[in-house]
Amino acid sequence: MYSSSIFDTFSPQEPQRAPIGVFDSGVGGLTVLRQIYQQLPNESIIYVGDTARLPYGIRSQAEILQFVREILHWMQQQRVKMAIMACNTSSALALDIVRQEFNFPILGVILPGAKAAVQQGQRIGVIATPATAQSNAYRQAILEIQSNVQVWQVSCPEFVPLIEQNRIHDPYTIEIAKTYLEPLLQKEIDTLVYGCTHYPHLSPILRSLLPQQVKLIDPAVHVAAACSQELDILGIKNTHPPMPTRFAVSGCSQQFTQSSLQWLGYTPMVEQVCFADTVLS
């Protein structure tokens, strides 16, 4: 799938030392970053948050494609060895297209999440952004893996803005979460997939609103495992100590620093980048 020139973009002697690019519209991808820290502690990461243009989940496919291309071109300039779309909306609407356009591997979150879901249950609920829910990407991925399960998707347009505003424990957030989960509870789901990387930030609330037996699937865990496998296959897993994670956002860097502190447990150094300035060839 990848041309041999993939290795030309790395430091020729030591391609394994090149960073992995991880991107999301905002703090959602930090749930993936945390999993990479746990499962791949030697990897150097460049984290991109396209905060000036979030939420992605209410955008059209054309807009998402444009944003994703700009970010990937920027990542290419940074000589990443692999990119992870730590964003379900981008994975649902752009992954298959942009995979053909770049000469480094690009992983999405939906397939790893779908595989994990069918291993856990048969009555599967998916909560997602409006764009991801409308795309039907989870239903298709799940039913392609296993056709005899049932899938219900619920669009949750208010979650991402509430999480980005850090209103996790706000009574309004709890009320809206009840509303979103209600149709899935009526279907007596046994498994719930976080179909947006922002949603694991709400896990204490969502867990408290669901019956104990409902299993929660966080695709972040599984995309990090898929990344590890892919690095092994390509022979580019880093064995040296990693570089500090580099953070680049398109919106206000101070705001991202503040809001991400609680999810990361340290204060990141964040730079501001205009991804739209990336020249498309």
Among 18, 22, 23, 25, binds ligand DGL (CB under 6 A): 25
Instruction: Give the residue with the Cβ less far from ligand DGL, 59 or 115.
Output: 59
- Output 122 or 136, the one with its CB closest to ligand DGL: 136
How many angstroms separate the CA atoms of 28 and 23, rounded?
9
Shortest distance in whole angstroms from residue 47 CB to ligand DGL: 13
| Amino acid (one-letter) located at 176 | I
User: Whose Cβ is closer to ligand DGL: residue 81's or residue 198's?
Assistant: 198
Q: Which residues are catalytic?
A: 87, 196
Given 19, 57, 108, 112, the residue binding ligand DGL (CB under 6 A): 57
* Distance in Å, CB of 27 to ligand DGL, minimum: 8
According to the binding rule CB under 6 A, does residue 201 interact with ligand DGL?
no
Binding letters toward ligand DGL, positions 124-153, x by CB under 6 A = -----x--x---------------------
Q: Which stretch binds ligand DGL (CB under 6 A): 10-18, 52-60, 200-208, 231-239?
A: 52-60
For residues 84-113, which are near ligand DGL according to CB under 6 A?
87-89
Measured from the CB atom, the residue of 135 and 191 that comes closer to ligand DGL is 135
Number of residues forming the site for ligand DGL (CB under 6 A): 16
Contacts to ligand DGL by CB under 6 A: 24-25, 28, 54-57, 87-89, 129, 132, 160, 196-198
